[in-house]
Amino acid sequence: AQKITQTQPGMFVQEKEAVTLDCTYDTSDPSYGLFWYKQPSSGEMIFLIYQGSYDQQNATEGRYSLNFQKARKSANLVISASQLGDSAMYFCAMREGGGSYIPTFGRGTSLIVHP
């Protein structure tokens, strides 16, 4: 079974608008961490934001916020005030707490920001 599901292969957004990228996860481990990474056309994966399963508040990092809904097992990334430089692939990842801490990645969502 897929541990991380990103259902949107591609998304389009107008510059300066907000956009939400979906991510659902599957785990029975009470301790886990959720990550979002950005992969621009240059290829290098860049860490954006992290949410721990016990964190009470939704994580925020500048224009990025993570909408964490634990009961629904969703960890959507919200990008506010989109910029042309936000055009990239976005990957959701989860690591479980059971000792190995190996991150598993979703298939990614391609985001294109239109001027």
Partner 1 sequence: DARVTQTPRHKVTEMGQEVTMRCQPILGHNTVFWYRQTMMQGLELLAYFRNRAPLDDSGMPKDRFSAEMPDATLATLKIQPSEPRDSAVYFCASGYRAGEKLFFGSGTQLSVL
Instruction: Note the residues at the interface with partner 1 (CB under 8 A).
Output: 33, 35, 37, 42-47, 50, 91, 95, 97, 100-108
28 or 100: CB nearest partner 1: 100
CB of 100 to partner 1, least distance (A): 6
Interatomic CA distance for residues 73 and 22, integer angstroms:
11
Which whole-number Å values give the CA distances from 76 to 30, 42, 43, 94, 98, in the listed order?
19, 24, 22, 13, 23
33 or 82: CB nearest partner 1: 33
